Chains A and B, each alone.
Chain A
Amino acid sequence: MPYHDTVTDMKQGISYCILVSILIMGTLLFSGCTEQSAPETTETIKIGVVASMSGPASTTGKDIWQSAELAANEINADGGVLVKELNKKIPITLVQGDDESTREGGIKAVSKLITQDNVDLLVGGYSSAVVSAHQSIVADNKVPYIISGGSSTAVSHRDDIDTSYMFFHRPNTDDSAKASVIFINEVVRPEIYKKFNLPEDRPLRVALIFQDSPFGKGQQEAVLHLIKEMDLPIEIVAEETFKMGESDFRTTLTSVKSKKPDLIYAVTFLNELIPLTQQAKRDVGMNTLILSIENNDDPDYYTGVGEYGDYTLMESRFSPYAIPKGSTSEMTKQFLDNFKQKYGGFAGMMGAATYESIYIATKAIEEAGTTEKGAVQKTLSDLTTDHMMEVMKDGKITFSPDYHESSFDLYVEQMKIDPAVGEIRPSIVWPESIKEKGFEIPDWYQPGST
């Protein structure tokens, strides 16, 4: 490097450094303040929405954000949230925190929401890995956080930090595995055995295909544990993993087919379930039933899977097409309609949970009569309120005293081709209380041999 002009070099160096430091401060202040530039003259309740607006999870992130927006608009149209302390209704302002689907992005977004935007409450959160990385600052800053993702119990059952300010409005991996296993044992097993005259002492042959991730492993462990604990006549004949984002399951399915299962339990994301179902039917020629899990209940599954989805089963809690009868159906219909009107398209399961979270948050603030975080945390812990769209245990949303988890009443749907739309459509087949139709075994179905 030429040093012929050292004096000017040095001057330039200093000015360069000063420039850099101005740049640092400028950008940080700028990026820290943009949200604050919104008119602050009127009092508002600030709710931070932690969502993956970019990166691999961005489809879900948008669902979360839009549903939160919908809820906030509805509440604000009604004048806002009644805060007793101030004796008037106060509108909600949502602040977006993009976690970029990464741990680094998440911790930056959440710390910004907490200190820059001074949010009164947080909602959202999706990937368990991302949530686990920013839990400690939430604990440290004592901001109530209603988490609609992070389904792994490793996130909600942490004991190294104070999770008292975190509330989990989602079924954890144990809950959804339990629903699936009970359905398999109480409905699928008797039907198959009756139809094919199988001996009662033959265990039902189930093949597990699961994503190599906290989500998939959590389900696998829960299923194995439940079968053992409840001493169910179910034998796991295959346990196959695949990498997240996999689209070629042909070899995996060939291996599963050779184990002759009666049913496949698939723990996948939507983009994996579609090729898995197609390849099982078309490429590997399996004449068996596939039971998948709640996060796949998305309009894209119904269009993507085509006729190969006929008779498949899905454990679910929120569906675009199957609305459980009872007290939740009216609100669900309205939510789906409003969502479609505003954004064009369907709201997903994560969106529904976030929409509910906003209402839970306002309920807690109304009951507490203040936005003071400690008081809100306390009301949230004791809160009992009617369920809204997703069917809850006993029809009430309430957070368990130990890990602050709400309990869902999960259901199972069976898909059938609807000739009118040329796509599959679900009907609820379990549990008894809300079922629309009985579980059916298709003509082409063949049980695995003994």
Chain B
Amino acid sequence: MDGNFEIIAQVLFWGIYSGCIYILLATGLNLIFGVMKIVNFAHGEFLMLGTYITFFLFIMSGFNPYVLLCASIPLLVVIGIIVERLCFRPILGTGKLNEIFVSIGLIYIIQNLVARIWTDEWKTIQSPYRDITLDLGVIYVPLDYLIIMAVTAILLIGLYLFLHKTWIGTAIRATSQDRAGAMLMGINVERMDMITFGIGAALAGAAGTLWAVSGQVFNPYMGSIPAIKAFAIIILGGLGSIPGAIIGGLAVGLVENGAAYTLGGAWKDAVSFILLIIVLIIRPTGLFGEDEE
């Protein structure tokens, strides 16, 4: 019985860890959706760029990879702004699903550019703290995972403060609630689009750094599956709802790892979609989505 409890605690812990990556991805996606009402299917490519930027800077500088967050976040903001300006702004307000089709093009472009530059071999980096393990009473866990969870929490709190305490944050929230109204109030909504997209990309990039630091391997094609799951998460949690993204992210992380434990690892991808479909059959607007029509 005691042993069982330990295993369940351990599986829960891995669920929360993978939930952290999903939360960062999904929060970014949802922020962008709130303001621009588009879904960027190529969001996982920002995650992948985050891992590669971390890798590249780590090899170049040898700095602590956690410190490299300070570099990967601003870099991803810039990349996000460029992508928004070139690919998404021109199609705002055009046909349904157009942004998904644009994203498919973006996926091909970014993946293969990275493969062209850094080859498509699998890469990995090691954290300086990899040998430190802490005793949490029930389970032993490596320090890195606790840092990763703490960094995720700090980023989310930082985002909350930014959205609620700064002028730009307030303007982003206003645009998200009522775009036309925000425009009438003199907010430059296109600039808000750019900033939001940049922040969304940066959150994905930060997730990329955390992914690499945890010792997981990466290659140019690694971003698609996490991004699609993040997409499923925001639908699960309700489009545009950031608490929904957080709870949805945790839920998917836990369900996936629970499925890997009970059904086997092959079910990991399928089970998050099964969860999604069940939720949508019961509640077509997602758990926290507002009712329409």
Contact = CB atoms under 8 A, between A and B. Distances in A.
Task: Indicate, yes or no, whether A interacts with B.
Answer: yes
A246 interface: yes
B13 to A, nearest CB: 8
Contacts of B122: 270-271, 274, 300, 304
A306 B126 contact: yes
A248 B18 contact: yes
Interface in A234-260: 240-243, 245-252, 254-255, 258
B11 interface: yes
Nearest to B9: A254
A247 B131 CA distance: 19
Interface in A286-317: 300, 304, 306
A263 to B, nearest CB: 19
A248 B264 contact: no
A300 B14 CA distance: 27
Contacts of B221: 56, 245
Contact of A254 (B11, B145, B222): B11
Contact of A243 (B133, B217, B265): B265
Contacts of A406: none
Contacts of B17: 250
Interface string A52-80: 00001011000000000000000000000
A258 B8 CA distance: 11
Contact of B265 (A58, A246, A279): A246
Interface string B76-119: 00000000000000000000000000000000000000000001
Interface in B166-225: 215-219, 221-222, 225
B257 interface: yes
B209 to A, nearest CB: 15
Contacts, number: 88
B56 interface: no
B265 A212 contact: yes
- Which secondary structure characterizes the binding site on chain B? mixed
A432 to B, nearest CB: 35
Contact of A251 (B3, B131, B260): B260
A267 B126 CA distance: 24
B20 to A, nearest CB: 12
Contacts of A300: 121-122
A295 to B, nearest CB: 13
A243 B14 contact: no
B162 interface: no
A250, A258, A274, A304 pick with most chain B CB within 10 angstroms: A250
Nearest to A284: B10
A297 to B, nearest CB: 15
A290 B213 CA distance: 24
A59 B122 CA distance: 9
B285 interface: no
Given A254-B10, A274-B122, A282-B130, A240 B264 contact: yes
Interface string B226-268: 0000000000000000000000000000000100110011101
B160 interface: no
Given A271-B219, A274-B217, A275-B216, A59 B120 contact: yes
B142 A243 contact: no
A153 B266 CA distance: 22
Given A248-B216, A271-B217, A254 B261 contact: yes
A351 to B, nearest CB: 14
B124 A274 contact: yes
A163 interface: no
A284 B261 CA distance: 14
B155 interface: no
Nearest to B8: A254
A173 to B, nearest CB: 18
A243 B216 contact: no
A251 B221 CA distance: 23
Nearest to A250: B14
B124 A252 contact: no
Nearest to B10: A254
B222 A258 contact: no
A304 B11 contact: no
Interface string A21-60: 0000000000000000000000000000000000010110
A241 B270 CA distance: 14
A304 B269 CA distance: 26
A255, A274, A285, A300 pick with most chain B CB within 10 angstroms: A255
Contact of B217 (A240, A247, A254, A284): A247
B63 interface: no
B115 to A, nearest CB: 8
Contact of B215 (A258, A282, A285): A282
A242 B121 contact: no
Closest 9 CB pairs of A and B: A242-B265, A271-B122, A212-B266, A241-B266, A250-B14, A247-B216, A251-B257, A251-B260, A254-B10
6 contacts: A59-B120, A248-B18, A251-B260, A252-B265, A282-B131, A285-B133
Interface of B: 3, 7, 10-11, 14-15, 17-18, 119-122, 124, 126, 130-131, 133, 140-142, 145, 215-219, 221-222, 225, 257, 260-261, 264-266, 268-269
Given A56-B120, A241-B265, A251-B257, 14 more contacts: A58-B120, A59-B119, A240-B264, A242-B268, A243-B269, A245-B221, A245-B222, A251-B11, A251-B265, A275-B215, A279-B215, A283-B145, A284-B10, A285-B140
